[in-house]
Structure 1
Amino acid sequence: MKTYLVGGAVRDALLGLEVKDRDWVVVGENAESMAARGFQPVGKDFPVFLHPQTHEEYALARTERKTAKGYAGFAFHADKEVTLEQDLQRRDLTINAMAQDSDGLIIDPFGGRQDLENGILRHVSPAFAEDPVRILRIARLAARYGFEIAPETMVLMKNMVADGEADALVAERVWQELAKGLMERKPRRMMEVLRECGALKVLLPEVDALFGVPQRADYHPEIDCGIHTLMVLQCAADMDLSLPERYAALLHYLGKALTPPDILPKHHGHDINGVVPVRTVNERLRAPKHCSELAELVCRWHIIFHQVGQLKASTIIDVLKKTDAFRRSERFQTALNVCIADVRGRLHFEHAPYPQREHWLSLLAAANEVDAGAIAGMCRQANQPHLIAQKIDEARLEKIKPLHHSYQKQYKQ
């Protein structure tokens, strides 16, 4: 039985990176002979088997043929006559179309090693255009490695989008690749690649619409709302924030694409105006609840969080309640993390301080010192249950006033 290590494991080993998953291709076998060797079949659409000892995946060498639009429209052919090179040729990129034999020899029929050394993402064959998921995957790999896209590959991607292949992508696959890309080292690069080939306008038109929208140069020297969004996203990655936080960073500015021309470039109300498009994106992508909720929260409240020094103490209590900070303090904290990225995701503001975060958290901690249960008990005992909420707010107000006044005095807001 001839087996070869293939794909990402070979690629990452050549890059000197940790190999997390290993995939194998088997040449000269069929389903019956694999089963006779103790391999367990797991693939429905094409023959994949689990090794009886290591439980790693072994796939029979196969070819594929496009049968319909979309990522699922393929027919596969696997038998003993399919060669290793034929199997490698069906893969997306040259850097993924390398194999390694049992002696450690690299089999590289399409120049993947040279492209790896030069930092180039290049398609193996015109068959790349048959699977629209590859548009997302190549953008994600660009975000991971910082590689450039070969000009001929970018032309192919643009043609795929123009031919409607990107429209055939289903929400689950888009989210799967987007989530992975957001968690890469340079997620900004993923958005740049998607925008260059036209896929961003199809998959995330609300984000694409931000490019070319101006804003005040004194607050935003980068001026362009789309550029700011990419800077915020990258700042969130540089801060090592979680997926929900990075997703919120990507969507926090959507309201600015809806600002009427007569109030440009100040964009008053973009926080409130952004809620509907954020919800639209969440629904289209079927984003997980913890991601969608944080994205909406950050969009709606990030301006208020920034302007805490201008708020009355009574307004502070109202904001803490409306953002559900008393019950979900951890989510409140993550929203403030995104606000740091928002402030620092500006040209020349990369190291700007953000005292608002600590102030909000100190205000929340002080308000939480109030024993709401005890107050509720006293109100009921006095036959005044209708005053419970009011009395709790009053007690919280007394707790936060000294802190807030001190903050306002220090920052003169």
Structure 2
Amino acid sequence: MRTYLVGGAVRDKLLGRPLVDHDHVVVGATPEAMLAEGYRPVGKDFPVFLHPDTGEEYALARTERKSGRGYHGFVFATDPTVTLEQDLARRDLTINAIAEDERGALVDPYGGTRDLEARVLRHVSPAFVEDPVRLLRVARFAARFAPLGFTVAEETMALMRRMVAEGEVDHLVPERVWQETRRALGEAQPSAFLRVLRESGALAVLFPEVDALYGVPQRAEHHPEIDTGRHIELVLDMAARIAPGDDRVGFSALTHDLGKALTPADELPRHIGHEGRGVKPLRALAARLKVPTEHAALAEAVCRGHLNAHRAFELRPATVLKLLASLDALRRPERLEVFLAACEADARGRTGHEDAPYPQAAYLRRAREAAAAVTAAPFVAEGLAGPAVGAALERARTAAIAAIPR
């Protein structure tokens, strides 16, 4: 019975990155032997155990065999004769197929350290094509490691295109697509996630509403990058810079301009009314992927309201109050922060505007504070009741917003 540190912990240690998870594989053991050592079983599909002291995961070395379509179409086998090399062979990328023994020596049968040095994301074996989730994982790792210069190996991209062409990606369950997507949106460079999916052909299958934005022109005086798909990439990366790790902001950035794909051809490159047009495709995307309700609601608020945020200084006080109310921002100021981060990412996610100020955010925060400071109590004390209280409250809040400097 020998144990090895495997996967992300070894990879990140070699890259000098902080270690988050410590996963181990155990060779030459049986479930009974693990239980006898005090390990606690947690695995459902195959034997995984928690260390009695550290709580870290220890999985028995296993092989897998394709038995059907999609993510769940696998049969796993574990027994004491499965070798470490066999276990590592079933992993997705060579950089995730490196092990470290108890003495700190590396076991690297598939060239993971070489690919770390070359900054390449490369599949371990042709069995890569059997699991469509691996395509999403490659795109997510691209989003994580693109700032370090990582790219996808040509032969791996060829396999990913094959997975799309053969319909394997069609069998991805919505929950897993969303799980990988939200993690990618929280990475350092989410634009790489889109680019890898698009290059493989998977973006058109999984996110047709986003794929449709590529090639749609915008007015160059407002968007020097012109292409709407490229704009979305810039906004995603700016969102990661402004609100690192917040996938609510990331999802709002991803979907805020979906309406531009629906602009009539004779109106291009202008996009009048794209905010309203974007709601229907956004709702369709969110429903299909079973996006959490709060993510979808905030994304819709950004889709509808991002232009109003940009022209906040031009809005009437009553319109500012209406914008804040649409976000429920007086009761839940954290929703305003997500909204403002996504709107700022949109404004700065344009070629040449990356470091531009966004004073609208500070103004809308001041407006919220001024409106929230006005309560109904004085009006109730005056003897008002029912709708009259609401009307008086709205007038007073509008006046409070009008009084703050712009």
Q: What TM-score do the two structures reach when normalised by structure 2?
A: 0.95
- Seen in structure 2, the aligned counterparts of structure 1 residues 60 and 297 have a Cα distance that, compared at 3 Å, is same
* Paired letter, 1:156: L
Partner of 2:353: 349
2:254 counterpart of 1:250: yes
2:335 counterpart of 1:331: yes
Pairs within 5 Å for 1:312-323: 312-323=316-327
Give me the whole-angstrom Cα distance separating, in 2, the residues matched to 1:215 and 1:64.
48
- RMSD after superposition: 1.5
Partner of 1:6: 6
Per-residue Cα deviation, 1:60-115 (whole angstroms, up to 9, x for no partner): 11111000001111001111211111111111111111111122111111111100
Give how far 1:379 is off.
4.5
Per-residue Cα deviation, 1:277-302 (whole angstroms, up to 9, x for no partner): 11111111211222111111100100
- Seen in structure 2, the aligned counterparts of structure 1 residues 313 and 59 have a Cα distance that, compared at 3 Å, is closer
Q: 1:237 aligns with which of 225, 240, 245?
A: 240
Give how far 1:217 is off.
0.3
2:275 counterpart of 1:262: no
Unaligned runs of 5+ in 2: none
Partner of 2:27: 27
Partner of 2:312: 308
Give me the whole-angstrom Cα distance separating, in 1, the residues matched to 2:388 and 2:79.
77
2:109 counterpart of 1:109: yes
Pairs within 5 Å for 1:265-304: 265-304=269-308
Give how far 1:377 is off.
4.0
2:157 counterpart of 1:159: no
2:51 counterpart of 1:48: no
Pairs within 5 Å for 1:87-106: 87-106=87-106
- Seen in structure 2, the aligned counterparts of structure 1 residues 379 and 261 have a Cα distance that, compared at 3 Å, is farther
Partner of 2:37: 37
Between the two proteins, the alignment pairs up a number of residues equal to 402
Partner of 1:60: 60
Asked whether the equivalents of residues 95 and 112 of structure 2 are also in contact (C-alpha less than 8 Å), the reply is yes
Structure 1 residue runs of 4+, over 6 Å off?
Answer: none
Partner of 1:387: 388
- Seen in structure 2, the aligned counterparts of structure 1 residues 301 and 81 have a Cα distance that, compared at 3 Å, is same
Give how far 1:161 is off.
0.9
Per-residue Cα deviation, 1:11-35 (whole angstroms, up to 9, x for no partner): 1111112222111111122222222
2:365 counterpart of 1:396: no
Tell me which moved more, 280-289 or 117-126. Answer: 280-289
Give how far 1:389 is off.
2.5
Give me the whole-angstrom Cα distance separating, in 2, the residues matched to 1:369 and 1:55.
48
Give me the whole-angstrom Cα distance separating, in 2, the residues matched to 1:69 and 1:220.
43
Partner of 2:220: 217
Pairs within 5 Å for 1:126-205: 126-146=126-146, 147-205=150-208
SS of alignment partner, residue 349 of structure 1: coil
Asked whether the equivalents of residues 379 and 385 of structure 1 are also in contact (C-alpha less than 8 Å), the reply is no
Give me the whole-angstrom Cα distance separating, in 2, the residues matched to 1:313 and 1:40.
61
Structure number with bigger Rg: 1
Give how far 1:219 is off.
0.3
Give how far 1:360 is off.
1.5
SS of alignment partner, residue 346 of structure 1: coil
Asked whether the equivalents of residues 317 and 399 of structure 2 are also in contact (C-alpha less than 8 Å), the reply is no
2:19 counterpart of 1:15: no
What percent identity do the matched residue pairs reach?
53
Asked whether the equivalents of residues 243 and 341 of structure 2 are also in contact (C-alpha less than 8 Å), the reply is no
Asked whether the equivalents of residues 13 and 19 of structure 1 are also in contact (C-alpha less than 8 Å), the reply is yes
